[in-house]
């Protein structure tokens, strides 16, 4: 039932653009969303488009590995007042070199500046300087923040070098499924002059190293060594929005000419010199000359060193353009893995082990669920299960779907099984993951042992919880599917920590179980980081999935023989679930009376026990 709109939502959105928080208008006036979508679709679409172009410096965040930063606080006279261990290890105790002085001068004028710094070992490291007010948006140590707050004329100077952090290289290698030898060689290639030097460092022969690197390239989807370095750095640098125009980075940071920068940008993204020449419509010899000039200006001599520096400098520029930079949580229990599709698409998953456990795909929800609650993970472990969280197309680190969304999502799951060398898996799915899970069961029926859908998105145009924020948004998008893309991008540009925390708290207030969960220590922060990581790179996954539902998704036909259990959460249960999902053969139904959206947090033992009992039916059969 439509509510009378006191004033157009489009005006409310525009009124909050000035303070960079248009999503606040959605929260404050959520009961008018559906009515506005129907009564003023053109005006609302225009307002959403405007909000989707919001300056990234207003409310978008960047997620980086904190251990890759080296931080110093510089006094008004240019002297280092404090520096952390990484900064001193890389640059020593002074900031007297010409590059550092230049960065500090530029930052004093513009607020912040990015460039290149020379380390004491002669290598070049991406650097950034900022005035106190700008630098306090970065994830600085408490000592640095206190010193900057004491005197506004003080500045922060930092280097960013994930390639120098062995733990990050090891994690990246593990994500690609490299063997220990392949991992050590891949890490050595990040800064060794060449393959021979990397082989000497690792202690193996040249032919052995060449074979191992070829195997590593195949697993990572790299054509050559520079591609392997680029892909490793992409994993090591953290979760950022789409990188800025690299040509602009090379002009501003390396001092390249516009023509040189354009050629270098193509090369840094993985094209060869010949391919770059074809893309630019110029001679290959011209491209090689331009690349040689950029190398000289960047202070590097080899392609892989340039690729490394380009990746790290690009992250610093992204960091300087967004409103908040957050350090990644180093204590995540799951292990990141990447599966490579035959077409080159990358599919991310989090494997919570143990390897010998019975595998279960625990699919994430609408925008959360990459990180499983520890109590829920432990409950599944105790019952002998190995939880694996696939990231659907366009979410987190999984590449977007270029074809049919649900078919791509289904085949991604099959690729994960092949990569992990698993024949079959059980499914534990919630919320908007229902479409992908059922598509997987339909396209790969022999690989699904049992399935349980928790609080699943209903088929057709039925939207549950019409009097909640998410219910109102869903109903508006069903009414006007053309609004999905701009709405999704507006949300992505509103991922600053305080904004996301406010959204989560607001959504959780209606259901007592969810409200209690949010009040537990650490839960809100974990959910916020989860959402940020899922939406860091693109909004395409959320947009494609919501567009699917907004246009009336219908479940596929499933073969008989696989047991299914549909679990409604009582706080938002609606009558008619048996009829809505009647196409699923021999499905059973259950209700968790007090559960809400955060059911894995609030009822971990109950859900795990219900799942284990249901999945055990397949074993008994």
d(CA 276, CA 287): 7
d(CA 178, CA 201): 18
The pLDDT, as a whole number, for residue 620 is 47
The pLDDT, as a whole number, for residue 618 is 56
Instruction: Specify whether 195 is located in the same domain as 312.
Output: no
pLDDT beyond 50 at 390: yes
In this prediction, what percent of the chain has a pLDDT beyond 90?
64
CB 91 within 8 A of CB 120: yes
The answer to whether residue 83 sits within a structural domain is yes
| CA torsion angle 381 384 386 392 (round to 10) | -90
Instruction: Specify whether 111 is located in the same domain as 260.
Output: no
Among candidate residues 494, 517, 548, the one where a domain is terminated: 548
DSSP at 154: -
DSSP at 210: H
DSSP at 250: I
Q: Is the peptide bond before 354 cis (omega within 30 degrees of 0)?
A: yes
Quick one: which of 8, 175, 163 has its CA closest to 90? 163
Mean pLDDT value across residues 597-614: 96
Which band of pLDDT confidence, cut at 50, 70 and 90, is reported for residue 246? confident
Mean pLDDT value across residues 125-152: 93
pLDDT, one tens digit per residue, over 34-88 is 888 888 889 989 988 988 888 877 788 888 999 999 999 999 888 999 999 999 9
Which band of pLDDT confidence, cut at 50, 70 and 90, is reported for residue 242? low
The answer to whether residue 241 sits within a structural domain is no
Mean pLDDT value across residues 395-409: 95
Quick one: which of 192, 180, 237 has its CA closest to 63? 237
The answer to whether residue 329 sits within a structural domain is no
pLDDT, one tens digit per residue, over 82-138 is 999 999 999 988 767 788 999 999 999 999 999 999 999 888 999 999 999 999 889
pLDDT, one tens digit per residue, over 15-36 is 888 778 888 888 888 878 888 8
Instruction: Specify whether 451 is located in the same domain as 566.
Output: yes
Among candidate residues 160, 191, 217, the one where a domain is terminated: 160
Quick one: which of 77, 8, 1 has its CA closest to 47? 8
282 contact partners, CB below 8 Å, separation of at least 6: none
Partner residues linked to 63 by β-bridges: 239, 326
State the DSSP string of 513-537: HHHHHHTSTTHHHHHHHHHHHHHSS
CATH number of 95's domain: 3.30.450.20
B/e letters for 337-374, b = 16+ CB within 10 Å, e = fewer, are bbbbbeeebbbbbbbbeeeebbbbbbbbbbbbbbbbbe
Which band of pLDDT confidence, cut at 50, 70 and 90, is reported for residue 501? very high
Top-confidence residue, 320 or 125: 125
B/e letters for 228-250, b = 16+ CB within 10 Å, e = fewer, are bbbbbbbbbbbbbbebbebbebb
CATH number of 451's domain: 3.40.50.1820
Mean pLDDT value across residues 547-552: 93
d(CA 549, CA 459): 8
Phi, psi for 9 (deg, rounded to 5): -65, -30
pLDDT beyond 80 at 464: no
Instruction: Specify whether 101 is located in the same domain as 200.
Output: no
Structure tokens given for 220: 């990572």
Which band of pLDDT confidence, cut at 50, 70 and 90, is reported for residue 243? low
Burial class of residue 143 (count of CB atoms within 10 Å of its CB; 0-12, 13-18, 19+): middle
Range of the domain at 283: 246-322
Mean pLDDT value across residues 399-415: 97
The residue behind tokens 């809505």 is 580
Partner residues linked to 155 by β-bridges: 74, 131
pLDDT, one tens digit per residue, over 265-299 is 999 988 999 999 999 999 999 999 999 999 999 99
pTM score over 0.85: yes
The answer to whether residue 2 sits within a structural domain is no
d(CA 440, CA 332): 27
Instruction: Specify whether 54 is located in the same domain as 84.
Output: no
pLDDT, one tens digit per residue, over 363-381 is 999 989 989 999 999 999 9
Instruction: Specify whether 424 is located in the same domain as 491.
Output: no
CATH number of 291's domain: 1.10.10.10
Cβ atoms < 10 Å from Cβ of 382: 12
Which band of pLDDT confidence, cut at 50, 70 and 90, is reported for residue 4? very low
pLDDT beyond 90 at 619: no
Among candidate residues 548, 566, 597, the one where a domain is terminated: 548
Mean pLDDT value across residues 549-578: 89
The answer to whether residue 47 sits within a structural domain is yes
The pLDDT, as a whole number, for residue 7 is 58
Helices 41-52, 484-492: crossing angle, 10 deg rounding: 30
In this prediction, what percent of the chain has a pLDDT beyond 70?
96
Mean pLDDT value across residues 550-555: 92
Instruction: Specify whether 435 is located in the same domain as 567.
Output: yes
Instruction: Specify whether 485 is located in the same domain as 521.
Output: yes
The answer to whether residue 328 sits within a structural domain is no
Instruction: Specify whether 270 is located in the same domain as 289.
Output: yes
The answer to whether residue 351 sits within a structural domain is yes
The answer to whether residue 505 sits within a structural domain is yes
The pLDDT, as a whole number, for residue 6 is 54
Instruction: Specify whether 220 is located in the same domain as 133.
Output: no
Name the domain count of the chain: 5
Phi, psi for 278 (deg, rounded to 5): -65, -40
Beta strands in 518-587 (DSSP E): 564-569
Instruction: Specify whether 134 is located in the same domain as 73.
Output: yes
Instruction: Specify whether 28 is located in the same domain as 120.
Output: no
The pLDDT, as a whole number, for residue 466 is 55
């Amino acid at each position: 039932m439509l509510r009378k709109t006191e004033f157009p939502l489009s005006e409310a959105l525009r009124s909050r653009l000035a303070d960079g928080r248009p999503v606040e208008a959605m929260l404050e006036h959520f009961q008018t969303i559906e009515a506005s979508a129907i009564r003023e679709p053109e005006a609302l679409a225009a307002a959403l488009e405007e909000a989707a172009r919001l300056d990234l410096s207003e409310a978008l965040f960047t997620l980086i590995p904190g251990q890759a930063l080296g931080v110093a606080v510089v006094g008004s006279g240019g002297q280092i007042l404090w520096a952390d261990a990484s900064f001193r290890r890389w640059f020593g105790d002074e900031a007297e070199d010409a590059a550092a002085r230049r960065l500090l001068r530029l930052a004093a004028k513009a607020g912040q500046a990015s460039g290149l710094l020379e380390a004491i070992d002669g290598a070049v490291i991406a650097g950034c300087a900022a005035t106190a007010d700008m630098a306090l948006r970065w994830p600085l140590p408490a000592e640095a923040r206190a010193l900057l707050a004491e005197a506004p004329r003080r500045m922060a100077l930092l280097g960013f070098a994930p390639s120098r952090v062995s733990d990050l290289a090891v994690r990246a290698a593990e994500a690609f499924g490299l063997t220990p030898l392949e991992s050590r060689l891949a890490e050595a290639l990040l800064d060794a002059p060449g393959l021979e030097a990397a082989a000497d460092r690792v202690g193996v022969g040249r032919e052995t190293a060449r074979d191992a690197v070829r195997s590593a390239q195949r697993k990572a989807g790299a054509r050559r060594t520079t591609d392997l370095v680029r892909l490793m750095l992409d994993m090591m640098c953290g979760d950022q929005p789409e990188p800025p125009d690299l040509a602009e980075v090379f002009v501003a940071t390396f001092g390249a000419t516009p023509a040189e920068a354009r050629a270098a940008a193509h090369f840094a993204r993985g094209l060869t010199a010949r391919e770059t020449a074809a893309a630019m419509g110029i001679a290959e010899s011209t491209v090689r000359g331009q690349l040689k000039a950029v190398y000289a200006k960047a202070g590097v001599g080899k392609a892989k060193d340039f690729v490394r520096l380009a990746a790290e400098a690009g992250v610093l520029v992204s960091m300087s353009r967004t409103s908040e930079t957050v350090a990644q949580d180093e204590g995540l229990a799951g292990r990141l893995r990447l599966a490579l599709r035959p077409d080159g698409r990358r599919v991310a998953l989090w494997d919570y082990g143990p390897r010998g456990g019975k595998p279960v795909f625990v699919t994430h929800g609408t925008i959360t669920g990459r990180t499983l609650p520890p109590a829920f993970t432990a409950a599944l472990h105790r019952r002998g299960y190995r939880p694996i969280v696939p990231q659907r197309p366009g979410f987190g680190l999984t590449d977007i779907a270029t074809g049919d969304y649900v078919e791509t999502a289904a085949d991604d799951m099959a690729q994960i099984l092949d990569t992990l060398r698993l024949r079959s898996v059980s499914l534990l799915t919630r919320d908007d993951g229902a479409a992908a899970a059922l598509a997987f069961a339909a396209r790969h029926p022999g690989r699904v042992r049992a399935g349980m859908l928790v609080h699943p998105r209903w088929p057709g145009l039925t939207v549950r919880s019409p009097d909640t924020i998410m219910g109102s948004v869903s109903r508006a998008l069903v009414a006007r599917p053309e609004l999905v893309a701009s709405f999704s991008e507006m949300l992505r540009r509103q991922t600053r920590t305080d904004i996301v925390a406010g959204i989560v708290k607001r959504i959780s207030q209606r259901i007592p179980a969810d409200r209690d969960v949010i009040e537990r220590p650490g839960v809100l922060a974990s959910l916020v980081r989860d959402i940020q990581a899922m939406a860091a790179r693109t909004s395409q996954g959320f947009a494609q999935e919501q567009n699917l539902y907004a246009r009336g998704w219908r479940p596929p036909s499933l073969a008989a023989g696989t047991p299914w259990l549909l679990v409604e959460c009582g706080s938002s249960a609606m009558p008619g679930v048996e009829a809505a999902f009647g196409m699923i053969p021999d499905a059973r139904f259950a209700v968790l009376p007090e559960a809400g959206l955060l059911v894995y947090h609030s009822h971990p033992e109950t859900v795990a026990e219900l799942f284990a009992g249901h999945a055990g039916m397949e074993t008994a059969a």
